Amino acid sequence: MKSRLVRTFLFGAVQLLLFAVITRADEGGFSDDFSRLNGDFWDVQDHVLGRGRLDPSNVGVEDGDLVITIPARTLNGGEVATKGLYGYGSYSVRMKVPRAPGSITGFFLYKSPDYQSEIDIEVYNDHSRRVLFTTYADGSRTNTREVRLPFDPTRGFHDYSFEYSPTSVTFCVDGRAMESFDAGLPRTTMHLMVNTWFPAWLKGKEPRHDASLHVDYVSYVPR
């Protein structure tokens, strides 16, 4: 009887230890400089979105960058999402967006269903210098603001980030705060995602030549 209790106790302790390790792994920070595309960490998405398809064949790694290509004469793009879920903390990406008017590049937190939990940075893939900062919670869009960048995002790499806390989310570009919201925030862990695609609310225009998003790194530092 005593040996059975000991075995039960040890089995339970091991299970709790494994659960704690997994929880710490999901809640811990990370930084990926894309020396390769880690399939244990990232999911490459495959589904219709907006005016085209997120096609896994458009996603790869070249010269240490994550590259998501919009193929010439299509309205298709690509997307990657973390397999783990993440919460409060600082999220950063260094990227150069493609030149493909009518499409956008997103760096965002998301958890299904749509409109339930989301924090977005969405850069227009053109020379207009526009970026959208948006949040969704409880089934609706709760905050959004369009801001003009002090540079053309298609011409070089820049840092985009947001600080997510229980009381606010603050969006920064190249270390400069651009917008902050203190209400209407999601209250759950989410997947971190990067994509480039053609939304239905923009007039899609097929590029004459391949256009590619280049991502130097993505990082997360938990609070």
CATH code of the domain covering residue 108 = 2.60.120.200
- Give 96's pLDDT tier (boundaries 50, 70, 90): very high
Partner residues linked to 47 by β-bridges: 54
Contacts of 2 (CB under 8 A, 6+ apart): none
Per-residue pLDDT at 19: 32
Calculate the average pLDDT of the chain: 90
Tokens of 110: 């998301």
Per-residue pLDDT at 27: 58
State how many domains the chain has: 1
Per-residue pLDDT at 18: 30
Per-residue pLDDT at 16: 34
Is 2 contained in some domain?
no
Tokens of 127: 């020379």
Contacts of 9 (CB under 8 A, 6+ apart): none
Dist CA 68 CA 152 (whole Å): 19
Low-confidence winner among 15-24, 60-69, 101-110, 146-155 (lowest mean pLDDT)? 15-24
Per-residue pLDDT at 28: 84
Is 90 contained in some domain?
yes
Is 20 contained in some domain?
no
Helix (H, G, I), strand (E, B) or coil at 30: strand
Residue 138, pLDDT above cutoff 80: yes
Dist CA 167 CA 41 (whole Å): 29
